[in-house]
């Protein structure tokens, strides 16, 4: 009988442990509402020697840990779905290129191989782009490098020319912005015959109107290694920089979530512009007024007003749902903003509540630029396209995207050169090309 009693007691204890373990498992997989409904003594265990206050604290802490793991698990599932979607897209592109019928297993193999190739290509491109740390000054007519600046120790993220002197302002991943002087004798631009056909469909351009600034042809050009001025105050990558009207001050935008205004002559920090919640992506100054606009990953862009020396006001524009990749001024009282949410919006500085025009596209938009004289917006896209719109949102044209003309990778920025008769629009892409285009603006506007 004692043996039977001990056996029964052991069985009851084992059953109790299994029950407690089962409850523990159910607790892990239950919702927050279900957890609160379970009896505390069942969760804590019958034979715990811990004080009730300690047990309560432990249960609360373990609950927090469990919720964190649940959030990570959900994020992991979402990332897996995105990876699967990317693999399917890569596989579909591979099938279209090869022109062959692929089974599901072959598609997965090809997608995996394409993903590996893409990863390796991104690493190679990043290494190549961050190992040179140079800015190149080109001749449009000769498609030749005239000056190379090699003063940065990080990637060069933007360049702006001084409004009246031969000075350049470069922003870099080394957390600085440099001002450096160049001395070049530019050839006189020669007029060319108009060979472009403009319209709402794709623009046709001849090869001679498209200087392709590509390749490593800068080995023979003069190299500048020391800046005149180094602007140092940021704690992160300086992603963009621009001259304030007059060229006596410069503004920088950084991943440290601030923009800085500097005195060019003394290199001193005049103002630190704070308020953005995430990394800045771009900054731009007004051509005739002391106004600065900064854009950020926090889905907003801000307008900073320095026209009154005693008052430095700031206005926040909230109209996008994703990263604002750039915001630029036009002549007058308008700002144009582009975003990863695949929209471009035109704003009136006198009425910031809603945009006066919205352009919706099928791809994320990178650094835009506006033709000041004609108010034409050039939109560079992630999908290799460059589209032209007017300020009211009407599409005017699309630049070529073939293997012979156009970019082979994402187009990261655009810039108008209105005073040049040969090339009045430039675009740069992740294919390491800068392409000059001859856009027949009068024909575009006439056909509109």
Q: Is residue 378 within 8 Å of 427, Cβ to Cβ?
A: yes
Mean pLDDT of 417-433: 87
Q: Which of 127, 124, 137 is nearest to 217 (CA)?
A: 137
Q: Which of 187, 178, 133, 123 is nearest to 155 (CA)?
A: 133
> What is the pLDDT at residue 394?
93
Tell how strand 223-224 and strand 144-149 pair up. parallel
Assign 207 a pLDDT band (cuts: 50, 70, 90).
Answer: very low
Residue 11: pLDDT over 80: no
Q: Which of 306, 283, 304, 284 is nearest to 349 (CA)?
A: 304
Residue 66: pLDDT over 80: yes
The CATH fold assigned to 156-447 is: Methylamine Dehydrogenase; Chain H (2.130.10)
pLDDT in tens, 118-136: 555 555 554 544 457 999 9
**Rg for the chain, CA atoms, rounded:** 30
> What is the pLDDT at residue 104?
45
Residue 344: pLDDT over 70: yes
Q: Strands, E, within 274-408: which ranges?
A: 280-285, 291-296, 300-308, 311-318, 324-329, 334-339, 343-348, 357-360, 369-371, 376-380, 386-390, 395-398
> What is the pLDDT at residue 132?
73
Q: Which of 162, 323, 167 is nearest to 242 (CA)?
A: 162
pLDDT in tens, 291-337: 999 999 999 999 999 988 877 889 999 999 999 999 999 977 899 99
Give the whole-angstrom CA distance, residue 373 versus residue 127. Answer: 39
> What is the pLDDT at residue 255?
97
Tell how strand 343-348 and strand 223-224 pair up. unpaired
Highest mean pLDDT pick, 113-117, 234-238, 419-423: 234-238
> What is the pLDDT at residue 37?
45
Q: Indicate the SS3 state at residue 65.
A: helix
Assign 197 a pLDDT band (cuts: 50, 70, 90).
Answer: very low
> What is the pLDDT at residue 398?
93
Mean pLDDT of 142-154: 91
* pLDDT averaged over every residue in the chain: 79
Sign (positive or negative) of CA dihedral 312, 315, 320, 326: negative
Residue 354: pLDDT over 50: yes
Q: What sections of 31-103 are H helices per DSSP? A: 32-37, 40-44, 52-98
Residue 24: pLDDT over 50: no
Q: Which helix (H) or strand (E) element contains residue 116?
A: helix 104-132
Task: Please state the length of the chain.
Answer: 448
More confident residue, 435 or 352: 435
């Amino acid at each position: 009988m004692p043996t039977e009693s001990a056996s029964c007691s052991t069985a009851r204890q084992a059953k109790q442990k299994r029950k407690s373990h089962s409850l523990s498992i159910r607790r892990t997989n239950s919702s927050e509402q279900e957890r609160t409904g379970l009896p505390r003594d069942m969760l804590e265990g019958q034979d715990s020697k811990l004080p009730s206050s300690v047990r309560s604290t432990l249960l609360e802490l373990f609950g927090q840990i469990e919720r964190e793991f649940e959030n990570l698990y959900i994020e992991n599932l979402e990332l897996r779905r995105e990876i699967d979607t990317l693999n399917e897209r890569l596989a579909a592109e591979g099938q279209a290129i090869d022109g062959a019928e692929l089974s599901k297993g072959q598609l997965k193999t090809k997608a995996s191989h394409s993903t590996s190739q893409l990863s390796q290509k991104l690493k190679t491109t990043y290494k190549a782009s961050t190992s040179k740390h140079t800015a190149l000054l080109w001749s449009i007519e000769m498609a030749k490098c005239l000056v190379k600046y090699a003063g940065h120790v990080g990637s060069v993220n933007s360049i702006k020319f001084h409004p009246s002197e031969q000075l350049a302002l470069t922003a870099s991943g080394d957390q600085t912005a440099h001002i450096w002087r160049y001395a070049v004798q530019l050839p006189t631009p020669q007029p060319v015959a108009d060979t472009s056909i403009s319209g709402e469909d794709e623009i046709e351009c001849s090869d001679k109107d498209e200087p392709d600034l590509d390749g490593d042809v800068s080995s023979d050009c003069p190299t500048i290694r020391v800046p005149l001025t180094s602007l140092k105050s940021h704690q992160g990558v300086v992603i963009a920089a621009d001259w304030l009207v007059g060229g006596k001050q410069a503004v920088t935008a950084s991943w440290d979530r601030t923009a800085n205004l500097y005195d060019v002559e003394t290199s001193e920090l005049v103002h630190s512009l704070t308020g953005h919640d995430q990394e800045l992506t771009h900054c731009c100054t007004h051509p005739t007024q002391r106004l600065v606009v900064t854009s950020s990953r926090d889905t907003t862009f801000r307008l900073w007003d320095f026209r009154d020396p005693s008052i430095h006001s700031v206005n926040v524009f909230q109209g996008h749902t994703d990263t604002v990749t750039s915001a630029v001024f036009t002549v007058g009282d308008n700002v144009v903003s582009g975003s990863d949410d695949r929209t471009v919006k035109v704003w009136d500085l006198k009425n910031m509540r809603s945009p006066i025009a919205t352009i919706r596209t099928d791809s994320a938009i990178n650094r835009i630029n506006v033709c000041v004289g004609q108010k034409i917006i050039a939109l560079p896209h992630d999908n290799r396209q460059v589209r032209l719109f007017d300020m009211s949102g009407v599409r005017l044209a699309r630049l070529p995207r073939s293997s012979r003309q156009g970019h082979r990778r994402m187009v990261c920025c655009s810039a108008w050169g209105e005073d040049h008769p040969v090339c009045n629009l430039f675009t740069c892409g992740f294919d390491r090309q800068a392409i000059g285009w001859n856009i027949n603006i009068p024909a575009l506007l006439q056909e509109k």
